[in-house]
Structure 1
Amino acid sequence: MQDISNKPARWPLIRQGIVFQFKLGLDALRDILMSPVSMVLIVFDVVMANDQQQSYFNRLMRLGKKSDHWINLFAVDSPNGEPENNKEAADSNVDFWISKIETVVKEQQVDGKLTQSGKDKLQQYFGKIMQNKDKPGSKD
Structure 2
Amino acid sequence: MTQKERVLVLTQEESTSTWRKTRNLLLLQVKLWIDALRDFALMPVGLVCYLLDLASDSKEDRYWNRLMKWGRQSDHHINLFQHESFDKKKAVTVDDLADIVEDVLKKDVKDSQNTQQLVETIKQRVKTQFRPD
> What is the TM-score normalised by the length of structure 2?
0.72
Greater Cα shift, 66-75 or 104-113: 104-113
Contact 1:97 1:125 in 2 (8 A): no
Is 1:31 matched with 2:39?
yes
Identity rate, percent: 31
Larger Rg computed on CA atoms: 2
- 1:100-119 Cα shifts (integer Å, max 9, x gaps): 11111110244587576533
Contact 2:53 2:63 in 1 (8 A): yes
Structure having the larger proportion of residues in helix: 2
TM-superposed deviation, 1:16: 0.5
Letter in 2 for 1:96: D
> What is the TM-score normalised by the length of structure 1?
0.69
> Which structure 2 segments of 5+ residues have no match?
none
CA separation in 2, counterparts of 1:115 and 1:60? 37
Cα RMSD of the aligned pairs, angstroms, is 3.1
State the structure with bigger RCO (CA 8 A, min sep 6), 1 or 2. 1
Of 5, 14, 24, 2:10 maps to 5
CA separation in 2, counterparts of 1:64 and 1:109? 36
The number of residues matched between the two structures is 119
TM-superposed deviation, 1:125: 4.7
Of 61, 64, 85, 1:57 maps to 64
TM-superposed deviation, 1:22: 0.6
CA separation in 2, counterparts of 1:11 and 1:122? 21
Letter in 1 for 2:10: S
Is 1:69 matched with 2:111?
no
Aligned to 2:55: 47
